[in-house]
Structure 1
Amino acid sequence: MPGKINENIKSIRELKDYTQEYMALRLNITQAGYSKIEKGIIALSCDKLEEIVSIFEMDLISIIGFESSLYLKSDCMKSKASLGKEDLSNIEMLYRDKIALLERLLDQTDRELKTYKDKYGSL
């Protein structure tokens, strides 16, 4: 049975290897505020939920129905053979998202490095 939305958001964030700080920055809130969303301490507004859906590049139904046990090697230790095509497709999508994020971060780092080199010269 799918967990609560806040638990699903936390699981997806962890699978995507996003930090709470990253999510808070993208949502324009504090890390502490974001942590309260994941813990279910504060209610998640529709606007913030839509932003999270956008950050995860997933649809709302997928987040609501998310089953972390399909993706995490925990209690049942599912093997690749026991996963369905849809499960494998979702895992592949998460890895593609992670690779795309890493490529964007690398590009950003390269631009920042160039800016510093242009400003301060090479060492």
Structure 2
Amino acid sequence: MLIGDKIKSIRELKNYTQEYIADQLGITQAGYSKIEKGKTSLSLEKLQQLALILELPLENIIHFESQRYFNQDSSIAKGPAVNSDKNFELVIRLYEDKIELLEKLLGKTDQELQFYKENLAKH
């Protein structure tokens, strides 16, 4: 698995858009897309920035291999893998981060709905 594929998988697990990551890196979405596709070289500095944005240690990004745990058809764990406990913990952490993000978004949506309800009640 190429580093761009790993970054893309982690980004998707965290429910981040390419636009969000690109903005955090100070580049265009198209430029970021080239990183994920392996069309642009990724410097160590950019990789470290990505690790901060994705809130993961750099080594977890480098060693991330989702296909060791989930096959594309049924999401069932595959056979034994090197460092499987470490990778499994990473996958769990990514899903927990995604759940936390979704809960925050739901809370924000609830606040906005309450705001609109209150404003409609005044009119």
TM-score, with structure 1 as normaliser: 0.71
| Structure 1 residue 59: Cα displacement | 0.8
**Structure-2 residue corresponding to 1:25:** 23
**Structure-2 residue corresponding to 1:12:** 10
Provide the aligned length of Structure 1 versus Structure 2. 119
Q: Gaps (5+ residues) in structure 2?
A: none
| Structure 1 residue 100: Cα displacement | 1.9
Q: 1:88 to 1:8 in 2, by over 3 A?
A: closer
Q: Percent identity?
A: 47
| Structure 1 residue 50: Cα displacement | 1.8
CA RMSD of aligned residues (A): 3.3
Answer yes or no: is the 8 Å Cα contact 1:4–1:64 preserved in 2: no
Q: Gaps (5+ residues) in structure 1?
A: none
Q: 1:40 to 1:53 in 2, by over 3 A?
A: same
Alignment of 1:56-71 (within 5 A): 56-71=54-69
Q: Secondary structure at the match of 1:122?
A: helix
**Structure-2 residue corresponding to 1:106:** 106
**RCO greater where, 1 or 2, for CA within 8 Å and sep 6 or more?**
1
Deviation per CA, 1:18-64, whole angstroms, max 9, x where unpaired? 22122223323221111011112122233322221012211111111
TM-score, with structure 2 as normaliser: 0.71
